[in-house]
Structure 1
Amino acid sequence: MIFLGIDAGGTKTTAVAADLNGEQLRTAQGAPGAISAIGVNGVKSLITDLLKKLDLSDSLEKIQASAFGFSGVGRADIRKSVEDEIKKIGFTDFRVFTDGELLHYSAFGESDGILLEAGTGAVAVSRKNNLLTQIGGWGYLLGDEGGGYQIGRDAIRNTLAEEEHDLPDSNLSKAIVNFYGVEKREEIMNIVYAADSAQQIISSSAITVCELANQGDSDAMTIVEDAATHLFSLLKTALEKFDADDFIKIACAGSILSNDSPVLDLFNKKLENTGYDYELVNISVEPAAAGVLYAINSSGEEASEQLLNSLKGITV
């Protein structure tokens, strides 16, 4: 029998299928799968396309259980609608997670802990006594402070404000202008408003801001310090779900919290002063691969050592 895991995020969708022994391990990648982008009506075609790439279109009966992680299914009514679309394909034994919940499972399995993710947006997911709680993840129109969108947006705002005040180009402005490949600062607005996804275009410049901050640029440091403060605020809210004497496991994920990120350094310094007894843990498997493990466990089966090792090596 085959077990399936799918992780549908804002930039891409990944899928992993495997048997218990890892002898039939398959991976595939598809289009972005955030519900805000594809709508509930796009779920069926997205999954169908991935099944074709996994060579499982005509073998649905071989899939014993599945786990699906979708960005944008935090509301119960939307999650139910997505579940209905998946049932139309022919799936019966499956669970729909938010992408943050599935990433939490990647880090902790069935154990308690706090996941903090900062990529384009920002979200925290805590699990205490089997209760999953999401903090943040409201999307760029209502939140996402601490993520790449906020960092990129603030850098662009600074660049445009310098133009309006007839100020000379700062190092940050020069870097942003160079990143977007324009000659004049105001031309950045044309790129942003002409883009199919302004959110992605804006957040893509965050890495440039982080690189400048690592070099000690004061304007860039102000922006990443603000991002770290927002992320720490998410964590503090998640910590409220725990008792003061709890030992808490915390995992950080996303490009803004990568090992070489100045945001991570600033965040860790804030974390050290919380007074909580905690441990930072690494995420050992990709979310789609973790979906396979969840599907296996929910079926009462056990993954072989060979499969576990293979799943840890997957990068889709």
Structure 2
Amino acid sequence: MSVYLGIEGGKAKTTAIAANEKGKILAKVEGECIDFNLVPLAKARKNLKNVLDVLAERVENQPFQAVAVSLTSLPGTAGKRDTASLCNGIIDCERILIDRDLFIAMQSIYQPGARAVVISGIGSSVAVEDENGKRTSFGSWGHLLGDEGSGYQISLSAIRYAIRAEQGMEPSTQLTHEIFDYFEVADFRELRALLEKTESDPKGISDFAGRVFRCANHGDAAAIGIVGAQAMLLAETVKTLLRDLPEDTTIGLWGGIFRYNRLFRNEFSMRLLEQSGSYQIQMLDYPPECGALFAAYKLCNVPITEEIIKNTDVYRGLRV
């Protein structure tokens, strides 16, 4: 039996799945962060070893034919030195790929041809690959420089609007009440003090985007305008990268902002389709660890067959 390993190395946790050549999932293990740009290398290696020790036992110590790892912090494919620094002595495999999460996620669009992936969560980013395999990416600038259409920017835009409304510069909005309730403050001065203390926690601010979407769904004009503006900005970024790609390019969407907010997803798609009505826009069918598994198959020139897809669908259904 041949065993292939796909690992999603996220900011908060690591998810690894091992599968045979037919796509049957043999084991799934979760662990702590292995991204050596986010945690010290020694800790990243320890966390990776903890995951691999459990996996190896569950697959009865079968050797891995190929391993693909996605890391959020990478700008592109990791070189031999970084790969060795993380994996030597832990993963015994000749074929190891460590790549940016965007490019690994793109592997779950397994159909031939040009493709793109757009991710929006705390931050946002986009990557495209043309028919010849040339890759380009934008985004992931972080919350200080700003990512269009991200949860953080949606939340920050709402807070800024509510402050202007409080000063009489904009019409009143339900966002003001939601801000005070969510952040548990009495006024904007308390909010400022709180944010100054917690500015290193972008997730806490980003999660407020859920309240913005709720206000928009209830007809709040300010919230609707903010959602539309951020969706348009992200769409314009994506349009720039798609300009030289075929009109029927497949575009996969991922991240909490797309997954849980139909209003944003629809507004974004509408803006994108203004450039080409033939774009194939869809939520990614598979979670990131499956993209990593498909990348591992690709390292060994294993085609993604109907049987592999069927077995991966079983895993996806169990995961949900």
Q: CA RMSD in A?
A: 3.1
- Sort the Cα spacing of 1:166 and 1:251 in 2 relative to 1 into closer, same or farther, 3 A: closer
Q: Percent identity?
A: 24
| Matched length | 313
Counterpart residue type for residue 87 of structure 2: K
Go from structure 1 to structure 2 and tell me whether the alpha carbon gap of 1:23 and 1:263 turns closer, same or farther (over 3 Å shift). Answer: closer
**One-letter code of the match for 2:114?**
D
Equivalent in the alignment of 1:43: 44
With 93-102 and 287-296 compared, the bigger mean Cα shift is at 287-296
Retained in 1: the 8 A contact 2:106–2:291?
A: no
Higher mean C-alpha displacement, 126-135 vs 166-175 = 166-175
1:54 positional shift = 2.9
| Change over 3 Å in CA distance of 1:142–1:35 after alignment to 2 | farther
Post-superposition offset of 1:167: 9.3
* 1:7 shift after superposition: 1.0
Partner of 1:256: 257
CA distance in 2, matches of 1:25, 1:59: 10
Give the 5 Å matches for 1:237-276.
237-243=240-246, 246-258=247-259, 260-276=261-277
Per mean C-alpha deviation after superposition, the further-off stretch among 24-33 and 222-231 is 24-33
Report deviation, 1:270: 1.4
Q: Determine which of 150, 153, 156 is the counterpart of 2:159.
A: 156
- State the 1:281 CA deviation: 3.2
Are residues 1:135 and 2:138 paired?
yes
Distance in 1 (alpha carbons) for counterparts of 2:40 and 2:156 = 25
What secondary structure sits across from 2:125 in the alignment? strand
TM-score, length-scaled by structure 2: 0.84
Report what 2:234 is aligned to.
231
1:114-263 matches, cutoff 5 A: 114-128=116-130, 129-162=132-165, 170-195=173-198, 197-243=200-246, 246-258=247-259, 260-263=261-264
Query: Match of 1:307?
Result: 311
Helix, strand or coil at the partner of 1:68: strand
CA distance in 2, matches of 1:260, 1:141: 24
Partner of 1:95: 97
Distance 1:314 1:93 in 2: 29
Deviates more, 1:98-107 or 1:274-283: 274-283
**Higher deviation after alignment, 293-302 or 149-158:** 293-302
Gaps of 5+ in 1: none
- Structure 2 SS opposite 1:54: helix
Please state if 1:11 is matched with 2:12: yes
Q: Which residue of 2 aligns with 1:295?
A: 296
**Contact (CA 8 Å) 1:257, 1:264: kept in 2 or not?**
yes
Query: Which residue does 2:107 correspond to in 1?
Result: 105
Equivalent position amino acid for 1:43 in 2 = A
Q: 1:276 to 1:42 in 2, by over 3 A?
A: farther
For the structure 1 residues 51 and 169, does the alpha-carbon distance in structure 2 shift closer, same or farther, using more than 3 Å as the test? farther
1:59 is displaced (CA, Å) by 6.8
Structure 1 residues 300 and 80: CA distance shift in structure 2, 3 A: closer
Q: Distance in 1 between matches of 2:17 and 2:272?
A: 34
The 1:166/1:118 distance shift into structure 2, 3 A limit, reads closer
Flag the 1:168–1:125 CA change in 2: closer, same or farther, 3 A: closer
Following the alignment from structure 2 to structure 1, what is the Cα–Cα distance between the partners of residues 80 and 233? 31
Question: Are the structure 2 counterparts of residues 81 and 187 from structure 1 closer, same or farther at C-alpha, using a change threshold of 3 Å?
Answer: farther
CA apart distance, 1:52: 3.5
Q: Residue by residue, what CA displacement relative to the aligned partner does 1:129-155 show, whole Å, maximum 9, x if unpaired?
A: 211211222222333121001111222
Kindly provide the amino acid, as one letter, of the partner of residue 186 in structure 2: E
